[in-house]
Amino acid sequence: MPRRHLRVTGAAEAPLRAALRALRGELGVPDAFPLQVLVEAEHAAKSPRLPSYDATDIPLFTIDPSTRRPPPPFQRVAARPPLDSTDLDQAMHLSRRPGNGGYRVRYAVADIAAFVTPGTALDAETHRRVTTLYFPDGKVPLHPACLSEGAAGLLPDHTCPAVLWTLDLDADGRTETVDVRRALVRSRARLDHEGVQKEIDAGTAEEPLALLKEIGQLRERLEVERGGISLTLPEQEIVEHGYTDEGDDGNVSYASAYRAPLPAAGWNAQLSLLTGMAAAELMLAHGTGILRTLPAAPDDGGPPGRARPRPGEVGRLRRTAKALRIDWPHHVSYARLVRSLDPHDPRHAAFLLECTTLLRGTHYTPFRDGNLPDITTHSAVAAPYAHCTAPLRRLVDRYTAEICLAAVAGDPTPDWVLAAFDTLPDEMAKGTWRAERVESECLDIVEAALLKDRVGEVFEGCVVDVEDVAEGQPAVGTVQLESPAVTGRVVGTLGGRLPLGERLRVRLTQAEPGVAKVRFVPVDPA
């Protein structure tokens, strides 16, 4: 599921950062790696299993987000951590195929299995952690840094093992042939979305980089054609005001800003989707695999399998749109609305972030020996899809890579992969739940920080959810504010009601990061 990009700035002693530290302890989030795990990781970093195929002549490059930006004017930003992406899972090289007008995408993915041996303490620790957890002020990694940010990462001018995908596309961007093998690779450059966008827009990008736009746009058109939809989410940055060198945080306040994603980020994401779809098709043909599935909503008269929210979710989403004053005519589909939104508009950006909740019905679906599951597609992708491009940050990708390598080579799936089929889906489900819990709790803390100095103020909002409560209890629900675009719990009066889907004025009664979540009461009870 796409995650919210929440980022905070400010000193480690400030209230928001302190609340986030406390949250790690409250949720039991793993932090330091056990000594035995670190010893094994250091040894593996020095002696990985190297493939015989040498592809170091391919001038690969990585493209990742960069969060190192100058502070906003007239604002103090203290102790800012260098949060640039350091676990580089993917590198690419793009070229034209001579003669037929098609394209060749070479997509290298970090081969973490060359470093992690099944049955070791390091392997067991990755099964305990499952995913990298992202907090607004940092991350809790899946692997020790000597691997994820060092030997196993596709760093520039670093020769390392990788799973190398070669995908030949036709002139319309459709996949024609797929090959995947282990290879030694060497990235030549580490790029970021901002720099890539500037080069492409200026017309100065060399062909392997310029083709990112050409191929990316073709894949976006195919996505629309098949009924899929990508959520390229804005980053929400929480900026601290009022911090002093003396550490007096009594006057600290926070402001929120949204940073719209660049087109280059969407084109880059399309190549990851392309690879995940190719992996799914390989595994289906092989008869053994692990898919990322999302059931389609019940038939609403539209094309089958297309991306659309479920009936209960669409009502809530429409109420959220109303609260944010986003026009959503009933004849306009969810996918069409999302594509029409401008993430530079804070209201639209907030709505796009709410759309992530629609992907919480996803599953990891294993199958073997040709017994295909009833559901093989991911309805938001509108095609079969598998996670395979982020093995440094997600456990399951190590397993899907092995299955795809075996499928292309005509070999049986390794026993250690098959042995995990009974437990891996549950592990991934628990890991995903924990990541969602982290995101939800972080969002509560961030929203409380944004509103902590405004207790007692009245805001305009819309009730987007109402809970079932016992008779004689106050009505309870969720209110979406228009400005700032935050949600919170609203508690009505005893015997009163909360007008679902209607606008109302609410008073903020509590908001203290790490202490009290955002709460409201109606100003004019019904």
Q: SS3 breakdown of the chain: % helix, strand, coil, rounded to 5?
A: 35, 25, 40
433 lies in the same domain as 462? no
Tokens of 495: 């015997």
Does residue 391 lie in a domain region? Answer: yes
446 lies in the same domain as 481? no
User: What is the mean pLDDT of the segment spanning 105-132?
Assistant: 97
What is residue 502's DSSP assignment?
Answer: -
pLDDT confidence of residue 251:
60
Q: Which domain holds residue 496?
A: 458-522
Q: What is the CATH number of the domain that holds 482?
A: 2.40.50
Does residue 72 lie in a domain region? Answer: yes
Does residue 115 lie in a domain region? Answer: yes
> What is the distance between the terminal CA atoms of the chain, rounded to a whole angstrom?
38
pLDDT tens, residue by residue, 303-358: 444 444 555 677 888 888 888 888 999 888 888 888 888 887 878 888 887 777 66
102 lies in the same domain as 251? yes
pLDDT tens, residue by residue, 245-301: 444 445 667 777 777 889 999 999 999 999 999 999 999 999 999 999 998 755 443
The alpha carbon of 209 is separated from its chain's Cα centroid by a whole number of angstroms, namely: 24
Domain boundary among 393, 424, 451: 451
Does residue 472 lie in a domain region? Answer: yes
What is the number of other CB atoms lying within 10 angstroms of the CB of residue 330?
5
CA–CA gap between residue 426 and residue 371 (Å, rounded) = 20
59-68, 144-153, 319-328, 421-430: least confident range: 59-68
| One-letter identity of residue 181 | R
Predicted TM-score (pTM) of the model is: 0.87
| One-letter identity of residue 362 | T
276 lies in the same domain as 180? yes
pLDDT confidence of residue 494:
62
CA Rg value for the chain: 24
Tokens of 454: 């405004």
471 lies in the same domain as 388? no
**Structural domain tally of the chain?**
2
373 lies in the same domain as 517? no
Task: Output the CA–CA distances (angstroms, integers) from residue 44 to 37, 40, 109, 239, in the order listed.
Answer: 10, 6, 18, 40
What is residue 523's DSSP assignment?
Answer: S
Is the per-residue pLDDT at 4 higher than 50?
A: yes
Does residue 346 lie in a domain region? Answer: no
Query: Residue for token digits 């598998």?
Result: 386
Query: Residue for token digits 């989410």?
Result: 233
Considering the chain, what is the average pLDDT of its residues? 86
Does residue 392 lie in a domain region? Answer: yes
189 lies in the same domain as 78? yes
**Most confident region among 229-243, 354-368, 401-415 by mean pLDDT:** 401-415
153 lies in the same domain as 224? yes
29-38, 80-89, 300-309: least confident range: 300-309
Per-residue pLDDT band for 425 (boundaries 50, 70, 90) equals very high
Does residue 66 lie in a domain region? Answer: yes
387 lies in the same domain as 508? no
Does residue 291 lie in a domain region? Answer: yes
Residue 23 DSSP SS3: helix
237 lies in the same domain as 275? yes
Query: What region does 520 belong to: left with phi over 0, alpha with psi -120 to 50, or beta?
Result: beta
Domain boundary among 407, 427, 451: 451
3-state SS string for 382-399: CECCCCCCCCCCECHHHH
The percentage of the chain sitting over the pLDDT mark of 90, rounded to a whole number, equals 55
Q: What is the DSSP string of 150-169?
A: IITS--BT-EEEEEEEEEEE
CA dihedral 400, 404, 406, 407 (to 10 degrees): 130
CA–CA gap between residue 114 and residue 47 (Å, rounded) = 9
Domain boundary among 436, 451, 466: 451
217 lies in the same domain as 289? yes
113 lies in the same domain as 201? yes
